[in-house]
Structure 1
Amino acid sequence: MNARNNILDKLRKSVAGSTPINDNYDISLVTKPWSYAPEERINRLRTLMEAVHTEIHITTQKNWPPLVEQLLHDKQIPSLLIAPNTPHGRQLEAYWNGKAELPSLKAYDRPIEQWKADLFNETPASLTGTLGAITATGSLVLWPDQHEPRLMSLVPPLHIALLHASKIEDNFYTFHEKYKWREGMPTNALLISGPSKTADIEQVLAYGAHGPKDLVVLIIKDA
């Protein structure tokens, strides 16, 4: 018997004949203090995210594409990275179609090895969807996939995120339960509470050191 099996055998013998203690963990300890009325969720999320320099806009399913156009114009952004095989990517392309003098749309439709320099050096902004948000911590939740890889939300200096109001949950536990994380997760999940920031040893705060310098969240109120 090798050392590993010997250790496991001793552990099994040590609990032989014992009775497991019932799990009496009180779920309300991690949910009740962090529960909010539905009408409060947007305001709390907005307050927490704006406190860390996130830009928030309230819009609708119909009006978010022209809002994106206005934001890019105001910020003088020449191009926007999108995922063309997503519903919001297709909606934005349809809105863009036929309009002159708009910023160009870049499609994330190739392996990163084929255009790494362009992504890191020539892509000033991106637009992605979100899985939802957590009210208690003021955090967006992203599940990157083959259509919207995590580099879309981590590399461009400006990240525009679409969030449906109906997908804002109270706390991490309720979010975890709703989306059944225990049954399967992506290889990478992102919880984003604001633009990238860091501070050096003298506590001088700098934005954009490890990710987007600016984060804009468009909260889509569902009809």
Structure 2
Amino acid sequence: MSRSSARARILSRLYKNTETAAYTPEAKPWSPPALSPAKRITRFVELMEAMRSEVYRVKDDEWAPALRKILRTREMATLAYGKGTWCGDILEKSWKEKAHPTDLIPWTRDVEEFRDELFGINAGITTTMGGIAEAAALILWPSPQEPRLLSLVPPVHIALVKAKEIYTSFPEAIKKLKWAQKAPTNSLLISGPSKTADIELILQFGVHGPTDLIVFVIE
């Protein structure tokens, strides 16, 4: 058989196979699970703790005194926060009313000006847009007041999430937050301390970000 005839034969088979209808698997109907507010919180806490996050359930502004105690116990010298946020306002009021050994460092400068100081800070605290129960994730929408680096650079990230803003699933969060009308340009989903595994599948924490994640669920 000549080379040209062999080539024609192979191409003929290929063309013939393209006429076969492609198989499309049947997609079964699916909808996010429906959880009550209490079960959403419980599920969120359980899965967050399973990924080595510290979670504290507090009432209203009780997170500030609880945070003061944690900072003192761990002897953290500095805490960075977003100036002008509701979180920052409460922190400033708490530190003004009663002195604390941890210095509050407000984020008020350009990232290039603040960079060197930021890498020496012990912890950063941020607010959140909510949480996802089934994924055990925090939703962060970075802003000029609370840029992404505030949650990624310090070795300890402290996050505040309101219990009423914990959603069952990511699709529900997108719907409730109305991202179809205004989607964030840079959203973060955080599901625990920074972690990675090498080729031997050994899990390591803190390689590319915070080694500890402390979450206050505000009810």
TM-score for the superposition, normalised by structure 1: 0.83
2:200 aligned partner, one-letter code: E
2:122 aligned partner, one-letter code: P
User: How many residues align structurally?
Assistant: 193
1:117 equivalent in structure 2: 116
In structure 1, distance between residues paired with 2:61 and 2:204: 36
**3-state SS of paired residue (2:180):** helix
**Amino-acid identity (%):** 40
Runs of 4+ with >2 A deviation: 98-102
TM-score for the superposition, normalised by structure 2: 0.84
2:31 counterpart of 1:30: yes
Superposition deviation, residue 52 in structure 1? 0.8
**1:67-113 Cα shifts (integer Å, max 9, x gaps):** 11011112211110011210111111101104234300001110011
2:45 counterpart of 1:46: yes
1:159 equivalent in structure 2: 157
**3-state SS of paired residue (2:186):** coil
Paired residues of 2:68 and 2:100 also in contact (CA < 8 A): no
- Can you give the 5+ residue segments of structure 1 that lack an aligned partner in the other structure? 1-24
Structure with higher Rg: it is: 2
1:190 equivalent in structure 2: 188
In structure 2, distance between residues paired with 1:154 and 1:30: 33
> Considering only aligned residues, what root-mean-square deviation do their CA atoms show, in Å?
1.5
2:90 equivalent in structure 1: 91
Matches within 5 A, 1:103-142: 103-120=102-119, 122-142=120-140
In structure 2, distance between residues paired with 1:58 and 1:30: 29
Superposition deviation, residue 181 in structure 1? 0.8
2:68 aligned partner, one-letter code: E
In structure 1, distance between residues paired with 2:163 and 2:99: 32
